[in-house]
Amino acid sequence: MIKEVVEKIIKDIPGNVEIVAAAKQRTPQEVLQAVCAGVKIIGDNYVQEAQKTKRALDGDLQWHFIGRLQSNKVRRAVKIFDVIQTLDSFKLARLINAESHKIGKVMPVLVEVNVAREPQKGGIFPDQVEEFIQQVLNLKNIKLIGLMMMGEWSQNSKDLRPQFKEAKNLFDKIGQLHKDKLDWKYLSMGMSESYKVAIEEGANMVRLGTAIFGQRNQK
């Protein structure tokens, strides 16, 4: 089942769009089926869960952190993950930088932008992203490679289009501004309900949970 679904999604989306399988609450066996169908990037919201899944799977996979990163998990996250998609404060940036420095790593990160401007949600407000990036550019063990955004919860996918547009504009603007300094390449937006619209609006990385694995258990 999972295998057929993933193969169809890969066939249907443009070749330049990367799929991140959002693996929260999934078993390694489920994740393995997605991998067998061609998924190369696994996203997880939890450091410990990712660690377990990673131990159970081998192969040439990339691991992306896509959850809220707590300070006390940064050390482990920096070791386990290839990309952190949810950088949203300078405090977190400094911690990631320090822990990466200790292990001699330059950590690739995406800046999470809060296009919906929902205060209860993570992410830098759009009008503060440029200044934030200027600050983070001073941290030598962080490498900024793009933007990540989450749409507003309450909206259906069509209503998210203006938010995707705004994120794309911001992504292009920053890419232009820092074209000599940054390897600025990923715009991570769109989830199971919204990825088609997100791709139409310029996403080149989509994060899919339900669309690949089916409904999650309610916790």
Ligand X SMILES: *Cc1c(COP(=O)(O)O)cnc(C)c1O
Q: Which of 28, 45, 80, 202 binds ligand X (CB under 6 A)?
A: 45
Distance separating alpha carbons of residues 140 and 175, to the nearest angstrom: 19
Q: For ligand X, which residue of 9, 115, 167, 211 counts as binding (CB under 6 A)?
A: 211
CB of 34 to ligand X, least distance (A): 12
Residue type (1 letter), 191: M
| Both structure tokens of 184 | 């600025």
Stretch that binds ligand X, among 33-41, 151-159, 164-172, 202-210 (CB under 6 A): 202-210
- Closest-approach residue to ligand X (CB): 209
210 counts as binding ligand X under rule CB under 6 A: yes
Q: Work out the number of other CB atoms within 10 angstroms of the CB of residue 185.
A: 14
In this complex, which beta carbon is closest to ligand X, that of residue 30 or of residue 139? Answer: 30
The single residue among 26, 64, 168, 207 that binds ligand X, judged by CB under 6 A, is: 207
Contacts of 217 (CB under 8 A, 6+ apart): 25
Among 24, 73, 105, 121, binds ligand X (CB under 6 A): 24
**Least distance from C-beta 13 to ligand X, angstroms?**
14
Q: Which two tokens stand for residue 174?
A: 């920053």
Instruction: Reduce the DSSP state of residue 178 to 3 states and report it.
Output: coil
For the CB of residue 91, give the shortest distance to ligand X in the complex, in Å.
20
State how far the Cα of 142 lies from the Cα of 139, in Å rounded to an integer.
6
CA distances from 3 to 30, 36, 95, 189, 211 (A): 9, 7, 38, 23, 12
The residue (of 67 and 141) whose beta carbon lies closer to ligand X is 67
Q: Name the amino acid, one letter, at 106.
A: V
For ligand X, the closer CB: 150 or 167: 150
Who's near 132: CB < 8 A, 6+ residues apart?
90, 111, 124
Which residue, 67, 62, 97, is CA-closest to 83?
A: 62
Tell which positions 145-164 bind ligand X, by CB under 6 A. Answer: 150
Toward ligand X, which CB reaches closer, 26 or 141? 26
Pairing of strands 41-44, 107-113: unpaired
Out of 113, 191, 203, 205, point to the residue binding ligand X (CB under 6 A).
191
Q: How far is residue 69's CA from residue 13's CA, in Å, rounded to a whole number?
A: 30
Near ligand X by CB under 6 A: residue from 9, 22, 144, 199: 22
Q: How far is the CB of 86 from ligand X (least distance, A)?
A: 7
Binding site for ligand X (CB under 6 A): 22, 24, 45, 66, 150, 191-193, 207-211
